Amino acid sequence: MQKINDQESLPIRFTRSSSGASGARALGGGLAGYDNDVTFIGFDDATIPGRFTTKKNIITDNAKFENIVFSHDYLVYDSDWYKGFLKFGNDWDICMSIILSEEGHRFRDWLVWDDPDLCYDVEGFSHRIALPPYDYKKFQYMQISGFWWIAKKWVMQEDPLDENLLQGMGEDVEWSMRVREKYNYVMNTHSVVKVLRKDKRLSAYYVGDDEQYTTPGWEKTIND
């Protein structure tokens, strides 16, 4: 397990019980030495399902530290994820790291939503999300993945998620369009997050050679 200084982060996740109630707890909860970092938050997830935006705003309200990791519960962290962030640094407002599918290919991390040259009339599709090289910097066209990102607490307080939007209503796209040019959004290629679901649909395409992001171990050489 990675030892993360509790003065720098307190990741929180929601869990649902059989009764439909939900709670939130630090990812280190239940492990020796981390019990005091666990925070449970009651949440009714049954009356109005899909209130992901409300849950994430509650995380912001309850976070104790500067950097907040927003993550769905089907992702895990590479063993060197925290070490990679220490190497990358803290000079950012919103941050993305490499996301891998369970099969090892690049998943939906550094996304482009509405670049007129990349996202429209692509391979017979009227619109497609594009996965460009990691040095892509046209932030006015980007989308921030709704299932995993990191942001400063003050950013999320200044621009919270829209709680009128439920899961599947494009809540992450709406938020992305509000913040993508307002804050310093960066890509950290030194840290890797992995999806735990097999055959999870990419729903995007790679800009360039597919083999660059699908060859086993590609993420280990991306900084060479």
Task: Copy the structure tokens of residue 50.
Answer: 């899909």
Choose among 121, 120, 103, 135: nearest CA to 202: 103
pLDDT reading at 22 higher than 50: no
Q: pLDDT by residue (tens digit) across 39-94?
A: 777 777 778 889 999 999 998 998 888 999 999 889 999 999 999 999 999 999 99
CA torsion 120-121-125-131 (nearest 10°) is: -50
Residue type (1 letter), 7: Q
What is the CB neighbour count within 10 angstroms for residue 17?
A: 9
d(CA 90, CA 88) in angstroms, rounded, equals: 7
Q: What is the pLDDT of residues 179-217, one digit of tens each?
A: 999 999 999 999 999 999 998 888 899 999 899 999 999
| Cα 95 off chain centre by | 8
How long, in residues, is the chain?
224
> Which DSSP helix (H) or strand (E) runs through 97?
strand 94-100
- Residue environment code for 173-196, b if the CB has 16+ CB neighbours within 10 A, otherwise e: bebbbebbeebebbbbbbbbbbbe
Start-to-end CA span in the chain (Å): 26
Lowest mean pLDDT among 16-25, 88-97, 113-122, 144-153: 16-25
Q: What is the pTM of this model?
A: 0.86
Backbone angles phi, psi at 151, to 5 degrees: -145, 155
Q: What is the pLDDT of residues 116-146, one digit of tens each?
A: 999 999 989 999 999 999 999 999 999 999 9
Domain locations in the chain? 67-220
List phi, psi (to 5°) of 191. Answer: -125, 145
Q: Categorise residue 162: left if φ over 0, alpha if ψ from -120 to 50, beta otherwise.
A: beta
